[in-house]
Amino acid sequence: MGELAIQLPAHKDQASFNLKRWAEILDDPFYATLEQRIETDRHGHIIMTPPPSFSHSFKGSELIRLLNLKLTGGQALHEVPISTSDGVRAADVAWLSNVQLAEAKKTNILLTAPEICVEVLSPRNSEKEMQEKMALYFNAGATEVWLCNDDGSLRFFSKPAEQVKKSRLAPEFPDSI
């Protein structure tokens, strides 16, 4: 069979639905008891993944520490919910400007992706899955997406299929953690 292409709604058209659905999830006491990471698809269905391993958490924490050390005018955070054209996705690590931090405090979800979205790869992540997630983050307004490989090496992207040698937003950031 041939490859199936899915037409996703425009990011701005999906945002109000994502806001409403995310508020419902946050208000549901059942989901507050779960350790799994929760995201949604464009229909509002919940996607759960296992809790991160120690290695995953360690890399995420180190990325946050270094981002906060190297950049000013914002803050690095973990598990940042972002409204995308395919539901709510949570970047493992994201660097948010002060303006985005203020927005997030009002809505509990970012309507525009942070300038930098970082995914810490797990063995179960496929390259195709990461390409799709990068495309969603860029479509939602990310300037850069970084992938942190299992060995701690980083790949920096300025577009879904455009890998760059160094981050343009954080040029002093190391290429491995």
Predicted pLDDT of residue 4: 59
The pLDDT tens digits for 12-63 are 889 999 999 999 999 999 988 887 788 999 999 998 887 778 888 999 999 9
172 belongs to a structural domain: no
Predicted pLDDT of residue 31: 87
What SS3 class is residue 111? coil
Q: Is the pLDDT of residue 85 over 70?
A: yes
158 belongs to a structural domain: yes
101 belongs to a structural domain: yes
Residue 35's alpha-carbon distances to 1, 16, 60, 88, 95, in angstroms, are 38, 27, 17, 18, 24
The pLDDT tens digits for 58-81 are 999 999 999 999 999 999 999 999
For residue 86, give the CATH number of its domain. Answer: 3.90.1570.10
Instruction: List alpha helices for 43-175, DSSP H.
Output: 54-70, 98-107, 127-139
Closest by CA to 83, choosing from 53, 46, 40, 45, is 40
Confidence of residue 11 (pLDDT cuts 50, 70, 90): confident
Domain of 128, in residue numbers: 11-164
Quick one: 96 exposed, middle or buried, by C-beta within 10 A (0-12, 13-18, 19+)? buried
